[in-house]
Amino acid sequence: MSLFVQSLVLGVLLGGLYALLAAGLTLYFGVMRVVMIAHSAFLILAAYLAWVFTRETGLDPLLSMVGTVPLFFVVGVAIQRLLMARLRPATLTMMSVLLTFSIALVIEGMLGWLFTGTQRRVRLPYGGADFEAAGANVAVVKLIAFVLAALSLLALYLLLTRTRFGQALRATIQHPEAARLVGIDTDRTAGYGFGIGLATAAIGGTALALDSTIYPSLHWHWIGPLMAIIVVGGLGSIPGAAIAAMILGIGQALLQIPLNTTWAQTIFYVALFVTLMVRPQGFFGGRLAQRF
How far apart are CB 251 and another protein at their closest, in Å?
A: 11
Nearer to another protein, 167 or 212 (CB): 212
Q: Cα separation of 166 and 157, whole Å?
A: 9
> Site for another protein (CB under 8 A): which residue of 82, 98, 105, 121?
121
Nearer to another protein, 167 or 217 (CB): 217
- Within positions 28 to 87, which residues make up the interface with another protein, using CB under 8 A? none
What's the rounded Cα separation, in Å, for the pair 62 and 126? 13
Binding status of residue 130 toward another protein by CB under 8 A: yes
Residue 99: count of CB within 10 angstroms of its CB: 21
* Residue 154 to residue 219: CA distance in whole angstroms: 25
Interaction of residue 215 with another protein, rule CB under 8 A: yes
Spatial neighbors of 18 by CB under 8 A, at least 6 apart, are: 225, 226, 229, 245, 246, 248, 249
| Site membership for another protein, residue 245 (CB under 8 A) | no
* Spatial separation of the C-alpha atoms in residues 235 and 241, rounded to whole Å: 8
**Binder among 57, 119, 163, 290 for another protein (CB under 8 A):** 119
Measured distance CA(94)–CA(34) in Å, rounded: 8
When asked if residue 125 is in the footprint of another protein (CB under 8 A), the reply is yes
d(CA 79, CA 98): 14
Q: Is 218 in the site for another protein (CB under 8 A)?
A: yes
**Smallest separation (angstroms) from another protein to the CB of 13:** 8
Binding track over 259-278 against another protein, x by CB under 8 A: -xxx-xx-------------
Based on the shown chain and the rule CB under 8 A, indicate whether residue 290 belongs to the binding site for another protein: no
User: CA neighbours within 13 Å on the CB side: how many for 222?
Assistant: 29
As a whole number of angstroms, the distance between CA 71 and CA 22 comes to: 20
Binder of another protein out of 14, 69, 149, 190 (CB under 8 A): 14
Using CB under 8 A as the binding rule, whether residue 102 contacts another protein is answered as: no
Q: 39 or 142, CB closer to another protein?
A: 142
Q: Which is nearer to another protein, 12 or 171 (CB)?
A: 12
**Residues sharing a CB contact under 8 Å with residue 91, sequence separation 6 or more, in sequence order:** none
Q: DSSP letter for 120, please.
A: B
Binding site for another protein (CB under 8 A): 2-3, 6-7, 10, 13-14, 112, 116-119, 121, 123-125, 127-130, 132, 137, 139-142, 211-213, 215, 217-218, 221, 252-253, 256-257, 260-262, 264-265
